[in-house]
Amino acid sequence: MPIKVTLLGRRDYAPTYAAMQAFTAERTASTPDELWICEHVPVYTQGLAGKQEHLLNPGDIPVVQTNRGGQVTYHGPGQVVAYPLLDLRRAGYFVKEYVYRIEESVIRTLLHFGITGHRVAGAPGIYVRLDDPASHALLPQRPTKKVMDAVKFGSDLAAHRNGSDPHLPGPNFLGLGKIGALGIKVSRNCTYHGVALNVAMDLEPYARINPCGYSGLQTIDLSTIGVFASWQDVAEVFSQKLAVYLEP
C-alpha cells in the first residue's frame, strides 16, 4: 500500500506535534502509513538529549520540549519538514535502515537540484561542501566500515554522536554546512517526528543555538549555495523521494 502524502502548508509546531502523537497512539496494524509535509512558523525544538546550554539566546522564538531523539534545532519558513508516520514492522526494516533511507531521500532530492549531499560519521543528517556544493568527491569524514564496526548501533552510537565516548573522535564538520537535519521517535514500532530540509530561510536563528548540540556547526540552505528553487518545488521532489525510499 503506497504512503499517503499530505501537504499541510505552514503550521504551528505544537499542534502538529500533538497530531502526530495522536495519530500514532490511535493507529492499528491496518492503518495506512502517511507522510506529512509542511513548514513551521519559527520555533526551536529540544530533543530528549537536549541541554540547556545549547540554547544560547532564543529571544522571542518559542522553545518546545519534545520526545524525539537529538538536541536542539530550529524550524522556520522556507524549510521543508517531512513527518513519516510508518509502521516499521509492516515495512520490514529496522530503525538503523529507516534513518539511512531518510538520509538517502535527502541526498537524492539535493541531487535533483544539482547538489551533492554527504553523510558525516557520528552525526546524523546531511551536509554539503561549502567550497563546491556540487562536488561528488568522497568526504574523508564519511561513515566507513571501520567506524561502524567500532561504534555499535544503540547506546554506544548515541554516546558517540553526543561526543561523550572518550575512545572515539567527535564528528568533523570542517568545510561543511548542514542542510538536512533529522530527529525521530519510534513507539510500538511506529515512527513520528522526521526530517527537515532547508530551502530558502532566514538562517539567523541558527546563530542563537548550537545546532544539534554542536558549537560552531554552520547551517545552510539551498539558496545560500545558489539554488533558487521554490518551497513547493522542493517539497514535491522531497515527498516523492521519501515515498519511494521508505517503501517496504
Dump pLDDT digits (tens) for 153-178. Answer: 443 344 334 444 445 568 999 999 99
**1 pLDDT tier (thresholds 50, 70, 90):** confident
pTM value?
Answer: 0.91
Segment 2-10 mean pLDDT: 96
Burial class (CB in 10 A: 0-12, 13-18, 19+), 152: exposed
Residue 212 known to be catalytic: yes
pLDDT score, position 145: 72
Dump pLDDT digits (tens) for 190-208. Answer: 999 999 999 999 999 999 9
pLDDT score, position 146: 59
Dump pLDDT digits (tens) for 15-74. Answer: 999 999 999 999 999 999 999 999 999 999 999 999 999 999 999 999 999 999 999 999
Dump pLDDT digits (tens) for 115-125. Answer: 999 999 999 99
Parent domain of 63? 4-245
pLDDT score, position 62: 98
pLDDT score, position 150: 47
| 8 Å CB contact between 130 and 220 | yes
Lowest mean pLDDT among 89-98, 120-129, 147-156, 193-202: 147-156
Which residue among the candidates 179, 212, 217, 235 is catalytic per the annotation?
212
pLDDT score, position 139: 96
Residue of 241, 226, 117 whose CA lies nearest to 178: 117
pLDDT score, position 127: 98
Q: Which CATH number belongs to the domain containing residue 31 in this structure? A: 3.30.930.10
d(CA 209, CA 42): 13
Rounded mean pLDDT of the chain? Answer: 92
pLDDT score, position 133: 98
The share of the chain scoring above pLDDT 70, in percent, equals 90
Count of structural domains, the chain: 1
pLDDT score, position 170: 81
pLDDT score, position 169: 63
pLDDT score, position 162: 42
Q: Which of helix, strand or coil describes residue 53? A: helix
- The strand pair at 43-46 and 63-65 is best described as parallel
| 8 Å CB contact between 184 and 21 | no
